[in-house]
Structure 1
């Protein structure tokens, strides 16, 4: 049976004891609807509660809640139990104390999401020395995650997705990894030593499908599209400085993404996702879609990515092409036209200029 997680936005006056009683009422009637309440999370500070439920469908969850206490969830998404455990640390209720009549779980589901990208597909294929560097870096990163209580949700030889309970731990972990990365194997060409870390806070269930999908998406775009090594949202900065009264984020080593920049980045990605496979890129069309003048688009893009709009869009397409070749989804000519290039020859030139290897050669290596 599928597993779902729902979100309840709870009023200020509702305390963890109330949520525990609601969970208890769910358990009393769950069998009537073919459901099994696995556990829940309650966040008094942010006035949210999340239930993890095995159920035949979303409607059964709504009917169970309505029968038990009348509180309808604001959102329900289907989830993978392994991802839930990786992000949140458990998929069942903690053990109740011997003298406890009611299991009260005052445990927030708020997490700090880190996306780390250590290399691109190309760099993994070059040179024994680089391979040794990569192995040592990944060992060092894993130790840093463990030390700062980060839970690795997903990893490969290119990237990590990590969940932290503490903003401070996430930020300090990023700085530790950056330092290790900077001073490891200084003789290796800096072009091969690429590190990007995006950090943003999130809740497991939002209006988007997928657990922590909004936070993961934003952190990923921060990594892939911005020029800085470590990028955090303004909310991460505020929480960090609140947790560490005498500390201030060093903006020389960490880029803080302002709220208006965050909104611009999300609108930019939406535009690029709609137009990356079209050869008719038009800056005027981009400015109209994003609600900014051409000069504003140019200035904002340069500030975020360090690239002019035409270069940014070309490299966005090349990144898509890199992924398609890696997944072996078509030959080089097909991928060139699929990603908005009018000529396979021009595509090959741009690809080589960007990645230092012809796409045909790369296709042979993957």
Structure 2
């Protein structure tokens, strides 16, 4: 049978009342050909997530309706293999609620690490990817694939492990970078985004919002920077890990800053193909003057809006080339460049090679 996860919000019941509601589900589930496996409860957030095998969403809902009347605000179908990968193993079940292996209550949070890697002259970053994959595994992370995206994406149960992993990847890649420069070889470049979230929302699939946030943070991070979401900052119990120092730059975002970045990217990503989309257009759409936008964006991500817009276009072009989404002229148009020669010039400035060479290096 299909596997589903439902989402309850604004829950005011006690822990014991939730367990009793789950037991009530078990009493009537067979009648509806449903099996309620387990659930995750987060008392502070007032959220509950139930894992269910059922013929369809209506059957899931019918069990809750008959047993206690507390209906979910969202029910999504989940792929069993992806679910196991993202939620992990080693849990304990006590009458339904999930606990970590150490006995603590599993609140459902998972931490998402996104790593973007590229060589200065367009070569495939094989060794750097291997290093990052090894570190994700070493810190008890699990690698997932996300649509056509070619970032490395790791999932961690624990925020401390996620942050430690990000910092270790950064430090070892910086060593590789210095070695390459000393040997006059093209250095590796990277950016890292770290986010966290709960399994589903009213409008998203399994961990969709958390993964998308990590990817967006990776996009706007400076080169060789770790950009950390407000929730990871809140969940990380070893605060000293997040402290900045010369060798290990970690940028922490507030909830307000995070919201601004998401709105900024929402507007720009929807208009990248429009060559008439400029910073004046962006400032108008986001509701602030051009000087205000310049100051805010520069203070937040270390570069002005014009540089960010060009970078977003180049990174999308790089992704489209890897996906073989068209010839170079078509991809140039897709990211807002009518002039293929100027597009190639901008691409070379960003990645150290022209688009055709990059495509040749990434045939496989």
TM-score interval (norm. to shorter): 0.7 to 0.9
Q: CA deviation at 1:179?
A: 1.9
Q: CA deviation at 1:185?
A: 5.8
Change (3 A) 1:62 1:124: farther
Q: CA deviation at 1:143?
A: 4.2
Q: In the aligned structure 2, how far is the partner of 1:334 from the partner of 1:151?
A: 36
Change (3 A) 1:104 1:214: closer
Structure 2 residue runs of 5 or longer lacking an equivalent are 99-104
Q: Note the alpha carbon deviations across 1:32-89, whole angstroms, 9 max, x for none.
A: 3343323322233433221112333323322221112111112222222222111212
Q: Which residue of 2 aligns with 1:128?
A: none
Q: In the aligned structure 2, how far is the partner of 1:327 from the partner of 1:312?
A: 22
Q: In the aligned structure 2, how far is the partner of 1:169 from the partner of 1:332?
A: 41
Q: Which residue of 1 aligns with 2:316?
A: 320
Q: Which residue of 1 aligns with 2:189?
A: 194
Q: In the aligned structure 1, how far is the partner of 2:283 from the partner of 2:52?
A: 44
User: What SS does structure 2 have at the residue aligned with 1:83?
Assistant: helix
Moved more, 292-301 or 51-60: 51-60
1:244 pairs with 2:238: yes
1:35 pairs with 2:34: yes
Q: In the aligned structure 2, how far is the partner of 1:178 from the partner of 1:261?
A: 23
Q: In the aligned structure 1, how far is the partner of 2:324 from the partner of 2:129?
A: 26
User: What SS does structure 1 have at the residue aligned with 2:49?
Assistant: strand
Q: In the aligned structure 1, how far is the partner of 2:304 from the partner of 2:341?
A: 23
Structure 1 residue runs of 5 or longer lacking an equivalent are 97-101, 126-130
Q: Which residue of 2 aligns with 1:150?
A: 141
User: What SS does structure 2 have at the residue aligned with 1:26?
Assistant: helix
Within-5 A mapping of 1:84-103: 84-90=83-89, 94=92, 102=95
Tell whether the 8 Å contact from 1:84 to 1:90 is kept in structure 2 after alignment: no
Within-5 A mapping of 1:250-289: 250-252=243-245, 253-289=249-285
Q: In the aligned structure 2, how far is the partner of 1:37 from the partner of 1:350?
A: 54
Change (3 A) 1:331 1:82: same
Change (3 A) 1:36 1:256: same
Change (3 A) 1:213 1:195: same
Q: Which residue of 1 aligns with 2:9?
A: 9
Q: In the aligned structure 1, how far is the partner of 2:123 from the partner of 2:336?
A: 26
Q: Which residue of 1 aligns with 2:211?
A: 216
1:290 pairs with 2:283: no
Tell whether the 8 Å contact from 2:149 to 2:319 is kept in structure 1 after alignment: no
User: What SS does structure 2 have at the residue aligned with 1:218?
Assistant: helix
Q: In the aligned structure 2, how far is the partner of 1:363 from the partner of 1:145?
A: 28
Q: Which residue of 2 aligns with 1:173?
A: 165
Q: CA deviation at 1:362?
A: 2.7
Change (3 A) 1:33 1:288: farther
Q: CA RMSD in A?
A: 2.9
Q: In the aligned structure 2, how far is the partner of 1:27 from the partner of 1:121?
A: 57
| Alignment length (residue pairs) | 348
User: What SS does structure 1 have at the residue aligned with 2:275?
Assistant: coil
Moved more, 165-174 or 290-299: 165-174
Q: In the aligned structure 1, how far is the partner of 2:345 from the partner of 2:38?
A: 54
Change (3 A) 1:362 1:118: closer
User: What SS does structure 2 have at the residue aligned with 1:188?
Assistant: helix
Q: In the aligned structure 1, how far is the partner of 2:336 from the partner of 2:149?
A: 29
Q: In the aligned structure 1, how far is the partner of 2:84 from the partner of 2:76?
A: 16
1:25 pairs with 2:24: yes
Q: In the aligned structure 2, how far is the partner of 1:322 from the partner of 1:250?
A: 33
Q: Which residue of 1 aligns with 2:151?
A: 159
